[in-house]
Amino acid sequence: MFKIRDFESEHTCLLLHNSLLERQATKSVVGSIIVGKCVEPDVIYTPKDIQRDMLVEYGVRLTYMQAWRAKEVALELVWGNPIQSYAKLSSYFHIIEATYPGSHIRLNKSEDDRFLYAFVALFTSIK
């Protein structure tokens, strides 16, 4: 058993004050809000733009790092996870070779096994 010996009714915790005075948003929430602005590959949507838009549209202040991480979430929602996509690449090439026999497919890696580039020429285009 335990017994409460002292009770302080007034809290001085900064986190409590931040949560009461300022709106908080997680990177996944902000990422899902901004995902529509990250779809176009020719549009550059910077973390500074995200900070400005979140403040103007929702009254939420973000640090640069929060905006950066939210952008990473949004880009992953749009384009997928690059590591998982890379893991599927050899299976994808195998399916292409089976579907289009005679195609030229090469996956080039560096000496330390890092992706350099992929070359794909379908047989129908070679003829």
Best CA proximity match to 47, nearest among 72, 35, 64, 29: 64
Is residue 15 one of the residues assigned to a domain?
no
Is residue 16 one of the residues assigned to a domain?
no
Which domain does 57 fall in, by range?
Answer: 25-79
Query: Is the per-residue pLDDT at 74 higher than 60?
Result: yes
Quick one: 51 and 74 in the same domain? Answer: yes
Is residue 101 one of the residues assigned to a domain?
yes
Identify the DSSP state of 113: S
> In the numeric block, which tokens belong to residue 14?
């900064």
Is residue 56 one of the residues assigned to a domain?
yes
User: What integer pLDDT is reported at residue 106 of this predicted model?
Assistant: 92
pTM: 0.61
User: What integer pLDDT is reported at residue 35 of this predicted model?
Assistant: 94
CB atoms within 10 A of CB 81: 10
Mean pLDDT along residues 39-60: 93
Full DSSP string of 68-90: HHHHHHHHHHHH--HHHHHHHHH
Is residue 47 one of the residues assigned to a domain?
yes
pLDDT band at 18 (very low <50, low <70, confident <90, very high): low
Number of domains in the chain: 2
**How many angstroms separate the CA atoms of 87 and 108, rounded?**
14
